[in-house]
């Protein structure tokens, strides 16, 4: 690591993940923000859009077509899916990229088309993309030019189940993921259903049986298990800003005990800075990871014989988006993986 | 129904379910509150404990041992479990009772002892108790002197699954109930874990695999299916006051379709004033039943073949407690079942 | 009051005040909803827009120009300000109207123009309009054809100060109203600043020194005091759906004591069904009026000699909008004033 | 600043301010936590009480009487008021102290007794105490052995008014401070009034005209103005964890304009790392300082001639408590004042 800082650009900086990237990178010892784009808000200072960061010394937001790519080493792309493919395809080859959209997460063209309703616009590029769930794909990430940052929902469940499926400790079929997310997961675009008065003091299911993160999860679990996987994925919208909790209900292979499940996960993540497996029987709270890059995993015995319950939490904007993106940048640039991410959870 | 009103007493009136009973009964055309007890707060006006109802003309709270039972026709017992058995056993026989505690909900003595850690103090009385999930046991409730009002969690899941288990449309094994509850479900006694700053902006699981409502649910599902049932019941604490949402994951019997599941539920509850089955594929929100006695049920197709998802909601303090208690009183006293309960949900 | 029910129409039914009107009128013994309009959502059932009321038997929403005015006796107009004037001017004379918009609240043409930036489109009509703060203008309301329903903020402060200004107990100058409102006060139109994640867990001032309710309050206080009034009105947006709390800081006239202030208010509202003055020194909570038509007023001694603090609360959607609108309808139609409004607060 | 880290002890570590001290000090480059006390929870690991920080390598909590003072350079005292005086009086003289309780904030013995109902137990010690509102008393803090850390409410208002009173730009009489605080301000001890269901979705005033922070504010304003000050201080409890917003209503001296007020404040704090004065007319939000040590101040023109409105926000647990405490430690130990406090606000 030299004294020269990585020159970082953030495309689509006016959304919540953009703000989180800025918050994290502001104190990153080896990165410097040199470019912020936001097409609709071009020309405005970042602090007008996110006053909590107005005191930082940041470039004014510009349109993407105004960007001087020569001055940039690294791009975080936080654009809406769909437009992303074209933008990334047009970037010069010296720029490494972490893409926070869904555009490069599905590696099967047919699956992409089925869930996003259109042909992928940059299938060639897909071949060089690496799926950036850092703890599971670290070595590939280190060599990648383009990393597809995982979706918020897919991160905790893949961390929870991948080691178990790899060792055939749980069945790849019959997996139920009951997920609960804070409202920032839906972004900052105004919609009636996201108004405070519509979200506070209540909970509801949405996208039940048909959420776009389902195929991404299934893809990851298939990689782990070596077989096709179809899961039940049922997300719910919660009256909180940040946080995802996933209650994962699985069947164990014959003879496997919940205690074994716990032991395997605890061992797997013992050396990981951002993944903590709680003592057997304990379950985590989303508020205990708020604002941080941690994932907490708990393993609990089920009353139903042969079943086990895994509960995992993360902050959807950090480990579920911008934190993991920076973690990936660190790995891609040969920097210490935790750099800039040593931020403690904010509780209460 | 004569002009003479039912003289009602509420034991343990200073908790949330007590306040809800008062709120509902205040405008009940055929009931009159003549007795309020609250041992620790005896001598204080009810409006001091619940200022939102201070304008009502209510009796001062007294100790139970000061009660004049001759002036009372009907008792709602909202005491903590454990103490309840003795109190109800000591009531004169002319008084009908709805008990909101857990003391008479489990009809098997061994199960009671297993979950509550003590012998039941009034097993004889248990024989004349009827389990008061009104829609499922209405005829028995009509003839009962003592009704055990169901727990908040057991109500939606039993309404959802009983018709299906009775007709063998879903399997009695492998039932997963992922439940999310507002904080009032834990009562009004001060505890660190229930402080605003500990509950807001987060979610966590609790009692996973070991909540006391599990055996109550299993008992009801066993009645419906005719076989022993062990379920996965996983409750979560949500940052909201009121409301329970249950995501119920079940396997269908061979050849059964989700559409059939929906049709059976829709037919079963077509004539019920307080249970509404949404159009197929739609899921309900807790905020749409807040403050009301409604249960809403949605049926959704699962991506996993052979599975179906049922999502049900209620207000835990109304249909999950005091509302259903009044509904039971109406049935027991030969009054119109909806009397006093024609209260619309408060949204937003 | 005859057996024939008032045929009621609600214009602009798809907003929060529309939903509240429906909630209240659904159980009104002498009114029947025969017309619901919502231009953008015409043709859709009301229950699609407000699922919590989907079980009610309501007319489908239509466009205003489709309305059959002959079948309507009474209109609640919940349209945006600006468009309202024209619509009401075009209604046939047999229809009585309560207008919930701001269009007819300011009786001085110049003031209207100053604050709303346009000439009033129906100044002639203004002459027959009565300002509907029911408790203060009941007799005029009883004879009115068109009533301008007060704004949410102006209601508690006028109730608090009018009796005091009439008797010259407090100074008409130097009045400070620090107001805190829930998010429903801003309506249901999607805006970034009203998203859950933008409103939760924080408070901010808005419209400080320049909110459009200031001239309406000043008008009412001028009526009471007989002199021109300019107030400091500082509203704040709170992370809650419903409720307004106003902390009102005033100077007393020489020799007046806070106890006297309390006594005058207590006497004035002793017979009022919806206004309660708390014991001296006690202050009210918004959550104790949620969902109800009550206003609670507390009077507290200030540490600064010669000053007194008055704290008043209401539910902005009920007494601050739809509840007071129904209260006015009752008065205008010669019905019991509390009819349909005997709804207890929902707490917790 | 040498390589040797300051050995820090935290007394009363199990409360919210204790947790915040740990969160901040965990990444402080020149401090090391060597002692944590918590009498009721002695013997338990810190991470059991605050699981969000369980991954940190911290000493087990012990009782105060078990402390080895020789190994400690610096104490943060976060004990309840009353007990604090005795504890601090008993500390060896080589230890510097920041006291977060109220015990040494009032410098007048009679005022202390009036508000706390008892004689001060360590009046002699009071003479060497410095009041630690860092920006206002930095030079004295630098030389102090014992610093009384300001209360949460007194911090923003003193920062807002001190420069104005010093220059006689506003009147020292007739000051109204309408304050709104999150629930953490009331601590972590379980009380009915702090339960989630009692705090959510509502606001209420408390301690109106009689809160213990009033004399502390008055003391500071008297220092600034050179005359006795009696203020109106009206706090309100908000449904949020963190944050204080103060709306401050003052009269300007003859001929002074709001723009001048703004300019004076902007100049005064131009070089301060933690105090930001917004552009004239803009008002701040508590959510934009959450988790950080910032104070934001806005100045707005009032409609009432001669008056000005100042709105100031902070995070009550950071600048209002633990953040300012660390800021004071930095000053007292000759460290860079911002060390450990370069934490960005967490929004949303």
Q: Do A191 and C190 touch (CB under 8 A)?
A: yes
- Intra-chain end-to-end CA distance of chain C, in Å: 36
Instruction: Give chain A's residues under pLDDT 70.
Output: 1-2
Q: Could you say which of C106, C152, C250, C261 is catalytic?
A: C152
pLDDT for residue D2: 53
Same domain, D144 and D187: no
Q: Cα(C102)–Cα(C99) distance, rounded to whole angstroms?
A: 8
pLDDT in tens, B18-37: 999 999 999 999 999 999 99
Separation in Å, CA of B81 to nearest CA in chain D: 20
The DSSP bridge partners found for residue B205 are B236
Q: What is the mean pLDDT of chain D?
A: 96
Q: Cα(D255)–Cα(D263) distance, rounded to whole angstroms?
A: 15
Q: Based on the number of CB atoms within 10 Å of its own CB, is A188 exposed (0-12), middle (13-18) or buried (19 or more)?
A: buried
pLDDT for residue C209: 83
Touching check for D240 and chain C: CB below 8 Å? yes
Same domain, B185 and B301: yes
| Residue numbers in D near B240 (CB within 8 A) | 200
Same domain, C139 and C230: no
* Within-domain flag for A144: yes
Residue in D with minimal Cα distance to A185 = D348
- Intra-chain end-to-end CA distance of chain A, in Å: 36
In terms of DSSP H, where are the helices of chain A? Answer: 16-25, 46-49, 83-89, 109-116, 123-126, 134-143, 154-166, 196-199, 213-225, 258-268, 323-332
Q: Could you say which of B152, B161, B169, B244 is catalytic?
A: B152
Q: Do A346 and D26 touch (CB under 8 A)?
A: no
Same domain, D294 and D188: yes
Check which CATH number belongs to the domain holding A289 and give it: 3.30.360.10
Percent with pLDDT over 70 in chain B: 99
Digits of tens for pLDDT over chain C (348 positions)? 457 899 999 999 999 999 999 999 999 999 999 999 998 999 999 999 999 999 999 999 999 999 999 999 999 999 988 889 999 999 999 999 999 999 999 999 999 999 998 898 888 999 999 999 999 999 999 999 999 999 999 999 999 999 999 999 999 999 999 999 999 999 999 999 999 999 999 999 999 988 999 999 999 999 999 999 999 999 999 999 999 999 999 999 999 999 999 999 999 999 999 999 999 999 999 999 999 999 999 999 999 999 999 999 999 999 999 999 999 999 999 999 999 999 999 999
* Within-domain flag for B44: yes
DSSP reduced 3-state for D202: coil
Strand duo A96-99 + A74-77: pairing: parallel
Return the ∠ at Cα C331 (arms to C326 and C332), rounded to 5°.
95
pLDDT for residue B210: 84
pLDDT for residue C323: 98
Window 205-224 of C, Cβ < 8 Å to D: 205-206, 208-210, 214
pLDDT band (50, 70, 90) for residue D1: very low
Q: What is the mean pLDDT of chain B?
A: 96
Same domain, A301 and A160: yes
A97, two tokens: 């990229």
* Within-domain flag for B23: yes
- Residue range(s) defining the domain that contains residue B75: 6-150+319-332
* Within-domain flag for D13: yes
| Residue numbers in A near C196 (CB within 8 A) | 183, 194-196, 198-200, 239, 241
Q: Which of D197, D214, D311 sits opposite C303 (nearest CB)?
A: D214
Residue among C120, C73, C78 at smallest CA distance from C93 = C73
Q: Do D241 and C201 touch (CB under 8 A)?
A: yes
* Within-domain flag for B341: no
Q: Are C149 and C99 in contact (CB under 8 A)?
A: yes
pLDDT for residue C2: 54
Q: Which of A174, A197, A208 sits opposite B300 (nearest CB)?
A: A208
Q: Cα(D42)–Cα(B276) distance, rounded to whole angstroms?
A: 53
Touching check for C200 and chain A: CB below 8 Å? yes
Q: Which chains have 3+ CB pairs within 8 A of A?
A: B, C, D
Residue among C199, D239, C240, B241 at smallest CA distance from A183 = C199
In terms of DSSP H, where are the helices of chain D? Answer: 16-25, 46-49, 83-89, 109-116, 123-126, 134-143, 154-166, 196-199, 213-225, 258-268, 323-332
* Within-domain flag for C194: yes
Q: Could you say which of D79, D152, D261, D332 is catalytic?
A: D152
* Within-domain flag for A339: no
Touching check for D231 and chain C: CB below 8 Å? yes
* Within-domain flag for A347: no
Sheet holding C176-181, edge to edge: C204-205, C232-237, C176-181, C244-251, C307-314, C295-301, C275-277
Same domain, A301 and A163: yes
- Please tell me which residue, B323 or A80, carries the higher pLDDT value: B323
Check which CATH number belongs to the domain holding D73 and give it: 3.40.50.720
What 8-state DSSP symbol labels residue C66? G
Same domain, D196 and D273: yes
pLDDT for residue C122: 87
What 8-state DSSP symbol labels residue A107? -
Window 169-198 of C, Cβ < 8 Å to D: 173-174, 176, 178, 180, 182, 197-198
pLDDT for residue C121: 85
Separation in Å, CA of C68 to nearest CA in chain A: 30
Q: Cα(A140)–Cα(C343) distance, rounded to whole angstroms?
A: 63
Residue in B with minimal Cα distance to C274 = B55
pLDDT in tens, D138-185: 999 999 999 999 999 999 999 999 999 999 999 999 999 999 999 999
Flag whether pLDDT at B156 surpasses 60.
yes
Flag whether pLDDT at D3 surpasses 90.
no
The DSSP bridge partners found for residue D62 are D37
pLDDT for residue A2: 53
Q: Do D196 and B239 touch (CB under 8 A)?
A: yes
Touching check for B16 and chain D: CB below 8 Å? yes
Touching check for C49 and chain A: CB below 8 Å? no
Same domain, A280 and A198: yes
Beta strands in chain B (DSSP E): 6-11, 31-37, 74-77, 96-99, 129-131, 146-148, 176-181, 204-205, 232-237, 244-251, 275-277, 295-301, 307-314
pLDDT in tens, B93-124: 999 999 999 999 999 999 999 999 889 888 89
Window 311-330 of B, Cβ < 8 Å to A: 311
Same domain, D238 and D324: no
Q: Do A205 and B174 touch (CB under 8 A)?
A: no
Query: Domain total for chain A?
Result: 2
Interface test with B, best of A175, A185, A209 (most B CBs within 10 A): A209
Same domain, A208 and A130: no
Same domain, D172 and D278: yes
Q: Is B77 assigned a catalytic role?
A: no
Flag whether pLDDT at B264 surpasses 50.
yes
Interface test with A, best of B192, B197, B205 (most A CBs within 10 A): B205
Same domain, D211 and D181: yes
Q: Do C288 and B52 touch (CB under 8 A)?
A: yes
């Amino acid at each position: 690591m030299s004294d020269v800082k990585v020159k970082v650009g953030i495309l689509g900086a006016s959304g919540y993940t953009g703000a989180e990237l800025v918050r994290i990178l502001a104190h990153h010892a080896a990165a410097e923000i040199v470019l912020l784009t936001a097409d609709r808000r071009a020309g405005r200072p970042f602090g007008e859009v996110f006053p909590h960061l107005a005191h930082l010394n940041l470039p004014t937001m510009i349109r993407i077509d105004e960007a001087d790519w020569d001055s940039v080493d690294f791009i975080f792309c936080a654009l809406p899916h769909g437009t992303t493919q074209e933008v990334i395809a047009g970037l010069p080859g010296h720029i490494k990229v972490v893409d926070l959209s869904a555009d490069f997460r599905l590696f099967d063209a047919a699956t992409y088309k089925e869930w996003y309703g259109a042909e992928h616009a940059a299938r060639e590029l897909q071949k060089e993309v690496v799926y950036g769930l850092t703890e599971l794909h670290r070595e590939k990430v280190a060599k990648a030019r383009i990393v597809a940052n995982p979706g918020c929902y897919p991160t905790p469940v893949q961390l929870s189940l991948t080691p178990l499926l790899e060792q055939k400790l749980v069945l790849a079929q019959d997996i139920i993921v009951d997920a609960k997310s804070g409202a920032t997961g839906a972004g900052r675009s105004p919609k009636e259903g996201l108004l405070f008065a519509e979200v506070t003091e209540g909970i509801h299911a949405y996208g039940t049986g048909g959420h776009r993160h389902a195929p991404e999860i299934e893809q990851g679990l298939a990689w782990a298990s070596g077989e096709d996987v179809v899961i039940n994925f049922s997300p719910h919208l919660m009256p909180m800003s940040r946080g995802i909790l996933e209650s994962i209900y699985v069947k164990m292979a014959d003879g496997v005990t919940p205690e074994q499940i716990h032991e395997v996960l605890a061992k797997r993540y013992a050396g990981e800075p951002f993944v903590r497996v709680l003592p057997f029987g304990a379950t985590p709270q989303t508020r205990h990871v708020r604002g941080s890059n941690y994932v907490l995993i708990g393993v609990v015995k089920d009353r139903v014989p042969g079943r086990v319950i895994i509960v995992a939490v993360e902050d959807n904007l950090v480990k579920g988006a911008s934190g993991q993106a920076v973690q990936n940048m660190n790995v891609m640039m040969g920097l210490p993986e935790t750099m800039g991410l040593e931020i403690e959870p904010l509780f209460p």
